[in-house]
Structure 1
Amino acid sequence: MTDTGPWTGSAWWGHLVRAVPLAGEVAESEVRAGLDAGLEQELMTEGFVMELVSAELMARVRADDQAARDAMLALGAELEAGPPVVGEDVISAYLIHVPSPGERGGDLADALGPRVRAALDQDRDHRNEPAVAGFLDRLLQAVPGLRPLADAERYGYHDEVLAHPFLGDVAEREVALLTDGASLEIDDDWTEEERSAVLRLFTSADPDPAAEVRAVLDLLEGELGADAAVDDLIATAFVEMLPDEDEPGTEIVGMLGAGLRAELDAQRRQPR
């Protein structure tokens, strides 16, 4: 079994890295880097490590690394042939970075066996509920500055916006607009490209950035009560992400309408 320090994985994982040695090497490197960066050992599940491996291998595939391509194909074959104890989380973690058919590198998807390909199709044949889709359209029409965030969260065969991640990003952006970016957790060791990408998505050159905050809050307030799925989305993806009293950007709480504030108060009355 590959030596990854405190994390070793199951007997099945040991078989996997013997069958696909490059996957084992990548896993060891990624796990060590994660632990060195302060990630807790409990996070090092097989699914989490598989996603790290898939992400790194696909980065190499896009750089025309044939060994990485062979390893991705071999991983897919192992998951196809694997015993039933191979969890859905492991298969999903492998697939999340595999291009869809028709995209660059999509021939990797075409090479998948029926079991793993069915999982890919089920995951990517995603459609938002009509009420949620309508809500997202209205939000983007009301606040066009959110479109880059929405585009960053598009996924699947139908290029749908992933509603929960997107609205969570919206909450982070609106807080960042009120704090001039101080609420963003930008690490000192980020590259300039990474830093620029975050600032592009979560800040604005508008001379009155609070105007966008008010527009978002007004839209969300007006949407409450019309549809249960939309209410749940707003509550869990936006309201729950708002800062606590000791965090930057808490002034957004004072800008909430009655419905949003009632939801926030209800959440904070619950024991954590």
Structure 2
Amino acid sequence: MTDAGPWTGSAWWEHLVRAVPLAGEVARSEVQAGLDAGLDAALMTDGFVMELVSAQLVERVRAQDAAARDAMIALGAELEAGPPVVSEDVVSAYLIHVPSPDQQGGEIADGLGPRVRAALDQDRDHRNEPAVTAFLERLLRAVPALRPLADAERYGYHDEVLAHPFLGDVAERELALLTGGASLEIDDDWTEEDRAEALRLFTSDDPDPAAEVRAVLDLLEAELGADPDVDRLITTAFVEMLPYEDEPGTEIVGLLGPGLRAELAARRDA
């Protein structure tokens, strides 16, 4: 794809652009927008660009764009017939935004070939470990204000909460509550829609927002040591998100209980 600017794509993408021209147009536009926004050109892998394309096309499908729907169906057909050099990352990047069969745009999923459809079904049949599901339920009962974050991370045929992204979002929210939103680093480049969504999910009207922070940390502290799956979730999705001394929200470290503090120290010392 010699006219794609800094991103040239693979030989497979060169074929794809000939087969599905709209995918090429969207790829060039999305890549240029990312570069203009400061994204590292090294991130522009086939899989990364495929996700950008899939996201944009599905957004157009939801706006009743028939050409975008046809392009998504054609992309699925190309992935089904594609040579072995088409990596699983590219297939997954395409599928992540494909609507489920019972959703608007579900005809895209219904039209997938057996190989790509099997990949979709395997991904969408996601289930958390039972202990993780129970932990998430306890967290949401203890801190109901986190439910919008959980709902934003629901996925798949069973409407499961994606545990790691959700708990990472929880860490981001608690830091935002402690810093009055400064840790979100919202600036003039954000769209009004993105700004409104960030404020909805990561801020609070509670007169004592630190009370939520304490409630979350108390529950996480109490949960440590009860189940290895939950421990891995807490340490990788929450503890590793905590700021260093020169970053906004570092005061949260002083609120950690001994178990969380030990986990943080172990990761910083590794």
In structure 2, the partner of 1:88 is 88
Whether the 8 Å CA contact 1:2–1:24 is kept in 2: the answer is: no
Question: What is the deviation of 1:134?
Answer: 0.7
Whether the 8 Å CA contact 1:2–1:28 is kept in 2: the answer is: no
In structure 2, the partner of 1:132 is 132
In 2, the alpha carbon distance for the partners of 1:167 and 1:187 equals: 24
* Structure 2: stretches of 5+ with no match in the other structure: none
In 2, the alpha carbon distance for the partners of 1:44 and 1:253 equals: 35
Q: CA RMSD in A?
A: 0.8
In 1, the alpha carbon distance for the partners of 2:54 and 2:153 equals: 19
In structure 2, the partner of 1:121 is 121
Listed as ranges, the matches of 1:207-226 within 5 Å are 207-226=207-226
Q: Does 1:178 align with 2:178?
A: yes
In 2, the alpha carbon distance for the partners of 1:128 and 1:76 equals: 28
* Structure 1: stretches of 5+ with no match in the other structure: none
In structure 2, the partner of 1:109 is 109
Q: Which ranges of 4 or more aligned residues in structure 1 deviate by more than 4 Å?
A: none
Q: Does 1:257 align with 2:268?
A: no
Whether the 8 Å CA contact 1:164–1:237 is kept in 2: the answer is: yes
In 1, the alpha carbon distance for the partners of 2:224 and 2:104 equals: 41
Whether the 8 Å CA contact 2:69–2:105 is kept in 1: the answer is: no
In 2, the alpha carbon distance for the partners of 1:108 and 1:212 equals: 42
Identity %: 83
SS of the residue aligned with 1:183?
Answer: helix
One-letter amino acid of the counterpart of residue 65, structure 2: D
One-letter amino acid of the counterpart of residue 46, structure 1: D
Show CA shifts across 1:120-161 (max 9, x none).
000000000001111101000100000000000000000000
| TM-score normalised per structure 2 | 0.98
Question: What is the deviation of 1:185?
Answer: 2.2
Give the length in aligned residue pairs. Answer: 270
Question: What is the deviation of 1:42?
Answer: 1.2
Show CA shifts across 1:154-209 (max 9, x none).
00000000000000000000011011111112131222222111101001001111
In structure 2, the partner of 1:150 is 150
In 1, the alpha carbon distance for the partners of 2:186 and 2:155 equals: 25
SS of the residue aligned with 1:204?
Answer: coil
Listed as ranges, the matches of 1:59-78 within 5 Å are 59-78=59-78
